[in-house]
Chains A and B, each alone.
Chain A
Amino acid sequence: MRDHSSVTVRLVYLARLREAFASAGESLAWTREDEPTVAKLLDALRERGGAFRNELSTGRAVRVAVNHAVARPDDVVRDGDEVALFPPVTGG
C-alpha cells in the first residue's frame, strides 16, 4: 500500500483570492490516509474558516491549476506539485 501521509504542495493564490487570503501562496505539508485530490485539498483549506471558507464556498467560482494545467476536483495531487487557485479569468 502506498504511503500518502507526507504530501507537500506549493499553493499559489492569484487575483481576488490573493487579496482575500492576504497571501500570494504558501507551502502546505498535508497528511491524509487516502489519496489526496484537488477536492480534498480545497476541503482542507475550507476547514481553516475565515476568508478560506468564504472564498472557497460552493457558491463561488474557483478554478484550480496543477502544475500550470487546469485541474478537475478528482485529479490527484502529488508531492511537489504547484497548485494554483484563482477566479474565472477576465483577460483580453
Chain B
Amino acid sequence: MVRVQHEAFDAGLELAKLREGDRRVGAVAAFIGTVRDVNDDASVRTLTLEHYPGMTEKALSAIVDEAKQRFDVYEIAVIHRVGELAPTDPIVFVGVTSAHRGAAFDACRFVMDYLKTRAPFWKKELTSQGERWVEARASDDAAATSWERSVDR
C-alpha cells in the first residue's frame, strides 16, 4: 500500500491495520521521518514538500514491489506527506510485517534508502535566512548503492 497525502497520519492505526488478522506475522518494523528544526546550520520554520503526481505513486509502488522480492516479508505500507509542514511534523511512514525481525528491519531500511534517492519528492525550506530548495546528499546515494553491493556479495 502506498499513499501520498497532505494530512497527518496515525502511525499506530496504520500499524494495526497492517498487522490485523495475519497470524503468520511475528515481527512488525516501522520508520517515521519527521521535520527537524535545524538543517545545514539554519533554523527551519517550514518545510514544503512537492511531488510529481502519477510518477511518485508509481515509483513508491515499484520500491515496495522490489522490497517484497528481496526480503521475506508479508506487507509493506508507505505513506508520504506533501504540502507545508513544520518542525516536529511527521513526513513519512514505512511499516513492514514479516515472520521474523531481520527481514522486517532490512525491508524497512531498504524502502527508506530507495525512497530517498528514487521517489520524486522535493523539499523547500523556509529558514531564518529565507527560502531554499534542499540539495540532494551524497550520503543518501551511498546508502541506496550499498544495497546493490549487498546483493553482489
Contacts and interface: CB of A to CB of B under 8 A. Distances in A.
A16 B134 CA distance: 10
B134 A90 contact: yes
Given A14-B50, A87-B133, A87-B136, A92 B55 contact: no
B11 interface: no
A68 B54 contact: yes
B33 A88 contact: no
Interface string A60-92: 010001001110000000000000101111111
A12 interface: yes
Contacts of B49: 91
A92 B33 contact: yes
A44 to B, nearest CB: 22
Contacts of B54: 68
A65 B55 contact: yes
Main secondary structure of the interface of A (DSSP, over half): loop
Main secondary structure of the interface of B (DSSP, over half): mixed
A15, A87, A89, most chain B CB atoms within 10 A: A89
B136 A14 contact: no
A15 B122 contact: yes
A90 B92 CA distance: 12
Contacts of A12: 52
Interface string B16-37: 0000000000000000010000
A45 B119 CA distance: 25
A22 B96 CA distance: 41
Contact of B112 (A14, A68, A86, A92): A92
Interface of A: 12, 14-16, 61, 65, 68-70, 84, 86-92
Given A12-B52, A65-B55, A91-B115, 11 more contacts: A14-B120, A14-B122, A61-B136, A68-B54, A86-B52, A86-B120, A89-B122, A91-B80, A91-B116, A91-B121, A92-B140
Q: Can you list the 7 inter-chain pairs with the closest CB atoms, starting with the nearest?
A: A91-B121, A88-B136, A15-B122, A68-B55, A92-B116, A90-B134, A16-B133
